[in-house]
Homo-oligomer: A and B are copies of this chain.
């Protein structure tokens, strides 16, 4: 881990724990170079990370102001796995493996996100996610067999991300996603206990590795009444 990442870690945790409350100023760049014994560029890199993750707003001639920064978004944003999200919010969560099989990638669901998709063999994992013991999300992941030849049952039951990154050493880089609202299907109603005429929020995402290989295709169907998506954007 680079120096600037350590500075970032330290500053972000001090913002989280209230050492630097919302509205206060962080130490100036010059002070940071002294406190952490780094060059100004390194300090600025750490501040840049804080900036685009919504921790601070830099004001020319004044300094870096801590701004309020939401931490409880659904795992749609900022590309975190369900397990990481559950751990972060500390809610009572569990998930149940519904299906675990092999199939061809359903092109239609993802072609609006990724052009030039080929029909490829995938492993499909369907899981039902519970929040506070209520079924809230149906996740269906398609993983390219050409990238991940097989998945242990245990990884499918706990965390796919962890398996990809830690066990296989894959470097997950970015993801593009889409959110729509659809009427609940029969299977949605059954698994999530929905009445007829209810709706679900559907997020579809394509996740790629650092070498730009799109390898993970996910469709996530959320109970509309439990669905909240949060986002932070800058105008630049």
Contact = CB atoms under 8 A, between A and B. Distances in A.
Contact of A79 (B70, B78, B180, B234): B234
Interface stretch (A86-94, A129-137, A147-155, A208-216): A208-216
A104 interface: no
A227 B180 contact: yes
A190 interface: no
Contacts of A69: 176
* Most chain B beta-carbon contacts within 10 A, residue among A65, A79, A210, A229: A229
Interface stretch (A28-36, A51-59, A95-103): A51-59
Interface size class of A (residues with CB under 8 A): 35 or more
Contact of A201 (B77, B178, B181): B181
A27 B27 CA distance: 38
Interface string A216-236: 000000001101111111111
A235 B199 contact: no
B181 A233 contact: no
Contacts of A191: none
A234 B113 CA distance: 16
A40 B70 CA distance: 35
Contact of A114 (B68, B181, B208): B68
A174 B233 contact: yes
B65 A230 contact: no
18 contacts: A57-B212, A59-B211, A67-B208, A69-B176, A77-B231, A79-B233, A172-B235, A173-B234, A174-B233, A174-B234, A175-B234, A177-B233, A179-B227, A179-B229, A181-B225, A182-B224, A199-B199, A199-B224
